[in-house]
Amino acid sequence: MAARLDDLRIALAEISDLGRARALLAWDERTKMPPAGAEARAEQLATLARIRHQRLVSDELDRLLDQAATETSGLPYESDEASLVRVARREWEKARRVPAELRGEITRASSLAEHSWVEAKQRSDFPSFLPHLERNVELKRRYAACLEGFDDFEHTYDPLLDDFEPGMRTAEVAAVLSDLRSGIQPLVAELADRSSAIDDAFLHGHFPRDAQARLAREVVEALPLEEDAWRLDPTVHPFATAIAPSDIRITTRFDERYVGTALWAVIHEAGHGLYENGIARELRRSPLARPVSLGFHESQSRMWENWVGRGRPFVGWLHPRLRRIFPEQFGVVDPETLHRAANKVQPSLIRVEADQVTYNLHIMMRFELEVELFEGRLELADLPEAWNARIADLLGIQVPDDARGVLQDVHWAAGSFGYFPTYSLGNVIAAQIWDAVRESLPDLDGQIASGEFAPLRDWLREHLYRHGAKFMPKEMLERLVGRPIDVAPYLRQLRERTAEIYGV
């Protein structure tokens, strides 16, 4: 048996290597590549995507999977071997329906679109970006059409969502987001008049880039990532990626007028990194060596950013460090004031800078726009107008230009339709996990306050990270917290946090 299973492992390891190579090319494209390299890079990325796809959908892999399925049929569901065959088979089934040419073209087009987006955003010029966006949507429509009927997909958006949140359906996401909206909109209304009482002026001002870079590095170094297994680079739109579980690339951007971006965004990306870094060594070079889903991935980035990073214990730990690097701005700010500022709720334009409460409203409107686009109820040319109308409606603010509106995020340029809702799913899942963590680690606050982050990481490793993608998101959540997805813990925790801050 071992010999046959080894053949499967080797074939899957090559597919994994091709995916990781592609990840490195994408990381380089966004952090290091000279601009003139863009055209060649798009071709290189497309070739890797195409070849990976060809290997993934091959008859040879089909045969290896069949043999391995027979051989592993007696093993427990949660064994590495049975999980490998199960997860790889689902991936094969899905990929098999998509032509390699289309797979490559999606990659090529989105690589070019991203460069167009960077320039369009700089000039706040949506029309110049529109043809790229149209191409991305057209290709994703064709992609979704290929997957019609797979795994009981019902909605045209289901296949897109499934790429990020396997097994989750459009209707389920809509229900979760609707529950969230019911809980959040009253909270936002309640806090509307109280935000002016919270002083966060000291987070704004002038923060030299070099000093911010030192701060960001110091914060990431304090987090429990494996030594010598990560690096931190500046970029336009922050992201994290894993070239291997022991080769984590965190990126961030620095806004010299606002220190919050580099500070909490870098913890967010490090949270992604901690998850990838914690995947069991035994799963490396396999399709199991990745997080369960984007929702789970985001649950961890958001947990480290918000539950840890904006919590009172962490803010207490952070305070002397901030004060040392920026003595002028933080000289007279006490930890309590910093904590209140870090959790101020106030509608704003930019998703990645939004507070924890209104953040979800940013996600809801993006999800609705995506669904309407793919249902054919909204034209791409009308997107800026629709965007601005919804921001006015949901958040009560006017969008001054497309750079701070429809062009603010990289996702649509990157062809990542179906990604946005995973941010709110991540919030909801993070809250459910946080309840479980707190029950298991009674001294968590004390540990965080003294900069001991390893116990939290170890708990998350043991219960979540090490399993990689062995389980579907719904299975994983049941295993972790014994319940299906539920917005109640998140809404309760948001109310607890705002009560701390606002006293309501």
What are the catalytic residues? 269
Query: What is residue 502's three-state secondary structure?
Result: helix
Give dist(CA 400, CA 80) in Å, integer: 52
In angstroms, what is the minimal distance from the CB of 441 to a copy of itself? 27
| The dihedral formed by the CA atoms of 238, 242, 247 and 252, expressed in degrees to the nearest 10 | 0
Q: How is residue 446 written in tokens? A: 């004390």
350 binds a copy of itself (CB under 8 A): no
Cβ-Cβ contacts under 8 Å for 108 (sequence gap 6 or more): 42, 43, 45, 46
In angstroms, what is the minimal distance from the CB of 40 to a copy of itself? 3
| From 137, 174, 187, 229, residue interacting with a copy of itself (rule: CB under 8 A) | 229
| From 4, 5, 7, 21, residue interacting with a copy of itself (rule: CB under 8 A) | 21
Q: Which is closer to a copy of itself, CB of 211 or CB of 229?
A: 229
User: C-alpha 257: how far from its chain's center?
Assistant: 25
| From 125, 134, 190, 226, residue interacting with a copy of itself (rule: CB under 8 A) | 226
Instruction: State the number of binding residues for a copy of itself (CB under 8 A).
Output: 38
| Binding window for a copy of itself (CB under 8 A); candidates: 27-35, 308-316, 333-341, 421-429 | 27-35
Q: Which is closer to a copy of itself, CB of 285 or CB of 463?
A: 285
Give dist(CA 419, CA 482) in Å, integer: 26
In angstroms, what is the minimal distance from the CB of 286 to a copy of itself? 12
In angstroms, what is the minimal distance from the CB of 124 to a copy of itself? 22
In angstroms, what is the minimal distance from the CB of 21 to a copy of itself? 5
| Binding window for a copy of itself (CB under 8 A); candidates: 18-26, 134-142, 386-394, 456-464 | 18-26
| From 231, 253, 321, 463, residue interacting with a copy of itself (rule: CB under 8 A) | 231
Q: Are 394 and 364 in contact (CB under 8 A)?
A: yes
User: C-alpha 484: how far from its chain's center?
Assistant: 21
| Binding window for a copy of itself (CB under 8 A); candidates: 142-150, 197-205, 229-237, 474-482 | 229-237
In angstroms, what is the minimal distance from the CB of 405 to a copy of itself? 29
Q: Are 177 and 295 in contact (CB under 8 A)?
A: no
In angstroms, what is the minimal distance from the CB of 29 to a copy of itself? 10
Q: Which is closer to a copy of itself, CB of 33 or CB of 352?
A: 33
Q: Which is closer to a copy of itself, CB of 34 or CB of 482?
A: 34
Q: Which is closer to a copy of itself, CB of 10 or CB of 499?
A: 10
28-87 residues in contact with a copy of itself (CB under 8 A) are 28, 32-37, 39-41, 43-44, 47-48, 50-51
In angstroms, what is the minimal distance from the CB of 86 to a copy of itself? 24
Q: Are 412 and 272 in contact (CB under 8 A)?
A: no
Q: Are 151 and 96 in contact (CB under 8 A)?
A: no
248 binds a copy of itself (CB under 8 A): yes
Give dist(CA 195, CA 188) in Å, integer: 10
Q: Which is closer to a copy of itself, CB of 18 or CB of 428?
A: 18
Measured in degrees and rounded to the nearest 5, phi and psi for residue 241 equal: -150, 155
Q: Which is closer to a copy of itself, CB of 5 or CB of 21?
A: 21
Q: How is residue 497 written in tokens? A: 């946090």
| Three-state helix/strand/coil letters over 350-405 | CHHHCCCCCHHHHHHHHHHHHHHHHHCCCCHHHHHHHHHHHHHHHHCCCCCCHHHC
14 binds a copy of itself (CB under 8 A): yes
Burial of 376: CB neighbours in 10 Å, binned 0-12, 13-18, 19+: exposed
Query: Could you give the string, one character per residue 256-285, with x where binding to a copy of itself holds by CB under 8 A and - elsewhere?
Result: ----------------------------xx
Adjacency order of strands within the sheet including 240-244: 230-234, 247-252, 240-244
Q: How many CA atoms lie within 13 A of 127 on its CB side?
A: 0
Residues that bind a copy of itself (CB under 8 A): 13-14, 17-18, 20-21, 24-25, 28, 32-37, 39-41, 43-44, 47-48, 50-51, 226-231, 243-248, 284-285
